[in-house]
A and B are shown apart, each in its own frame.
Chain A
Amino acid sequence: MDTQLKKGIIDILTLATLRRSNSYGYQLVQDISNVMPINESTLYPVLRRLEAQGMVTTYTREHNSRLRKYYQLTQSGLDRLQEFCGEWNQMQRIYNYIVNSDEQGGLEKSYE
């Protein structure tokens, strides 16, 4: 997948995962990997950026006598998520436009 597009989508996937429940680094990698393969080094800058932008907040909890950093969705993170879903309709139209431009439907098949 295009790296620029992928980056934006990882942001959204992270926010969506956090909407279900607060989570920590390792668990987030596991959950997001179910939808899209990522590794921990991809996720770190995403989390750091979301934190800097105030879309998530963090807190630490002790686990097996070490610290674990948990991430929690904020209101502005939730807003961003809803904004993306609004944009998605537009994306859908773009997608349909691209697919319909191919009369034989070969493109669509390869996407399915």
Chain B
Amino acid sequence: MNKYQFINELKKELLLRMTRAEASKAVQYYVELIEDRLESGESEALVLENLGSPRLLAHRIIGEFLERYEQDKQEGVSHKKQLRVLKGREDFFKNNMVLILALSPILLPLAIATLSIAFALVITAIALFFSIGVAVIAVFASMVVSFVAFSIGLVAYPIFMITTGASGSEIIVVIGFFLAGVGLTGLFALGTYKLTRLLFRTIYTAATFRRIRARVDETLFVQPNQPQGQGQGQLHLEQTNTSGS
């Protein structure tokens, strides 16, 4: 291991538990120290051997901060600076460790189930919108291309036929064919566009969609100590929504 590897490893370990700013301060200190010791004539191997494993060193640094934080807490000293040194979630898990462990047989499957359902829903929604989007764009693009092709044909092919000396009836049949093509593709292109707009507008403003949103809002933000009003509130919400849509 050379000094760069040592420092990288130290930084990686510190960042697991410390804020970026605090970790980089510690790293800077050790970089400076290693450089100063090398400058004083010590070999890189010796310096790194003295410092030991970067993992262990990182754990010691973190441990010192944790110890100090606990000490301050016991003495009732609130060190806002000290608090920000360690990542917040660490404190949360440490303080609620017993509770979390006790509930883990329930919490863990629940969390996994919730996460997978949420994940599946998100993926489905994205896939649905993506596929609809792609299909619509493909249909629309093909219609536009055909429309252009038929339009060119409508002008170019009769001219070509005149140069080869075809009869008037033949030319009229060909013109009719191309006209039908232009009309149909134009209609389809316009239809796709209008239908898509209608579809998305319907989804977005659908009454069911609104009702689901209202229900979600209600379950998430309902006040737990609201007296009796829960049933009434629900009814009220639904009424306003149906009348609104």
Contacts and interface: CB of A to CB of B under 8 A. Distances in A.
Nearest 5 CB-CB pairings of A with B: A26-B36, A45-B64, A52-B81, A40-B33, A25-B33
B192 to A, nearest CB: 64
Interface of B: 25-26, 28-30, 32-33, 35-37, 39-40, 50-51, 57, 60-61, 64-65, 68, 79, 81-82
A6 interface: no
Contacts of B79: 52
B84 to A, nearest CB: 10
Interface residues of A, number: 19
A27 B35 CA distance: 12
A66 B35 contact: yes
Interface of A: 24-27, 29, 39-41, 44-45, 47-49, 52, 64, 66-69
Secondary structure of the B contact surface, majority rule: helix
A86 to B, nearest CB: 21
Which among A27, A48, A52, A69 has the highest number of chain B CB atoms within 10 Å?
A: A48
A26 B41 CA distance: 13
11 contacts: A24-B32, A26-B33, A26-B40, A44-B26, A44-B30, A45-B61, A48-B26, A52-B82, A67-B32, A68-B32, A68-B36
B91 to A, nearest CB: 17
B126 to A, nearest CB: 46
Contacts of A27: 36
A30 to B, nearest CB: 9
B61 A44 contact: yes
Contacts, number: 47
Nearest to A52: B81
Contacts of A52: 79, 81-82
Which among A25, A27, A69 has the highest number of chain B CB atoms within 10 Å?
A: A25
Contacts of B61: 41, 44-45
A33 B61 CA distance: 20
A45 B68 contact: yes
Contact of A39 (B26, B28, B35, B50): B50
Nearest to B63: A45
Contacts of A47: 29
A14 B12 CA distance: 29
A27 B26 CA distance: 17
A45 B33 contact: no
B176 to A, nearest CB: 84
Contacts of B64: 44-45
A40 B51 contact: yes
A1 to B, nearest CB: 18
A49 B68 CA distance: 9
A69 to B, nearest CB: 6
B236 to A, nearest CB: 54
Contacts of B60: 41
Contacts of B68: 45, 49
Nearest to B79: A52
Contacts of A41: 51, 57, 60-61
Contact of B29 (A39, A44, A64): A44
